[in-house]
Amino acid sequence: MKFHVMTLFPEMIEQGFHSSITGRAMEKGLLQLDAVNIRDYAVNKHMRVDDYPYGGGAGMVMQAEPVYRCYEAVKEKIGRDVRVIYLTPQGRVFNQKMAEEFAAEEDLIFLCGHYEGIDERVLEEIVTDPVSIGDYVLTGGELPSLVMMDAISRLVPGVLGNDMSAVGESFADSLLEYPQYSRPAVWREKEVPEVLLSGHHANVDAWRREQSVIRTAKWRPDLLETAQLTKKERILAEKILASEGEL
């Protein structure tokens, strides 16, 4: 997977991506990053890439031409049309399913805006996927693109080590993940649930599934609408929902 990021702050993208698991995956050649500075494609001698908005209003707008020239350069390097993700609070809200869909691509271009946005004409020309990472407004698209790249990267085969797995985790089937415990078995008088020490795999699986249902009903009841639950699990979820309502 190769990420191409069009940004005014390439060092922010590089620093964010070079650490931890994504950094290691880059060393192994499983992931590649090309952070491209839009300012390098400015069309005036002051290297300015923004100007006042037509019609007035606060803030500055990123101009169309530098963004387009930057896009053309990136596209030429790739050699074909690829999806262009524009990070904006106006986009479709990112989720695990979208991460899976993007992880199937070989190359992805991310376009990070700043100031009050980017001239609409160039967005119409190049953007295939406007995406938001949630209903709040950030100062630019760099953090959202790092969030998306992280979520996509861990789905690329080999990026997570053998001892880590992307199956059975939160959202895999519209349920949150069960709670995890490690040594010691007793910590500040709090004990690890006994079943986890039993070595009985079927019981452990059943307990974890039940915990997933309970946790989802408590913390993210909205997810229950799409979760595939047995009749018994549905009853359990309803019970939790009713008791949460009493609090």
Q: To the nearest whole angstrom, how small is the minimum distance from the Cβ of residue 91 to ligand ADE? A: 6
Q: Which of 64, 73, 82, 138 binds ligand ADE (CB under 6 A)?
A: 138
By CB under 6 A, residue 133 contacts ligand ADE: yes
Q: To the nearest whole angstrom, how small is the minimum distance from the Cβ of residue 104 to ligand ADE? A: 21
Q: To the nearest whole angstrom, how small is the minimum distance from the Cβ of residue 132 to ligand ADE? A: 4
Helices 142-153 and 10-17 cross at an angle (nearest 10°) of: 30
Q: Which stretch binds ligand ADE (CB under 6 A): 117-125, 128-136, 152-160, 219-227?
A: 128-136
Q: How many CB atoms lie within 10 A of CB 245?
A: 7
Residue 105's contacts (CB-CB under 8 Å, 6 or more residues apart) are 1, 82, 83
Q: Which stretch binds ligand ADE (CB under 6 A): 11-19, 127-135, 153-161, 191-199?
A: 127-135
Residues numbered 63 to 122 that lie near ligand ADE (CB under 6 A) are: 87-89
Cα dist from 215 to 122, 169, 174, 219, whole Å: 44, 13, 12, 6
By CB under 6 A, residue 54 contacts ligand ADE: no
Longest dimension (CA), the chain: 71
Which lies closer to ligand ADE via its Cβ, residue 109 or residue 133? 133
Count of residues in contact with ligand ADE, rule CB under 6 A: 11
Q: Which of 44, 51, 134, 200 binds ligand ADE (CB under 6 A)?
A: 134
Cis peptide before 10 (omega within 30 of 0): no
Which lies closer to ligand ADE via its Cβ, residue 143 or residue 236? 143
Residue with tokens 């997810």: 223
Q: To the nearest whole angstrom, how small is the minimum distance from the Cβ of residue 95 to ligand ADE? A: 13
By CB under 6 A, residue 136 contacts ligand ADE: yes
Which lies closer to ligand ADE via its Cβ, residue 23 or residue 89? 89
Cβ-contact 94, 143 below 8 angstroms: no
Rounded to 5°, angle at Cα 104 from 103 and 110: 50
Q: Which stretch binds ligand ADE (CB under 6 A): 4-12, 74-82, 98-106, 132-140?
A: 132-140
| Strand 107-112, strand 84-93: pairing | parallel
Burial of 195 (0-12, 13-18, 19+ CB in 10 A): middle
Rule CB under 6 A: which residues touch ligand ADE?
87-89, 132-134, 136-138, 141, 144
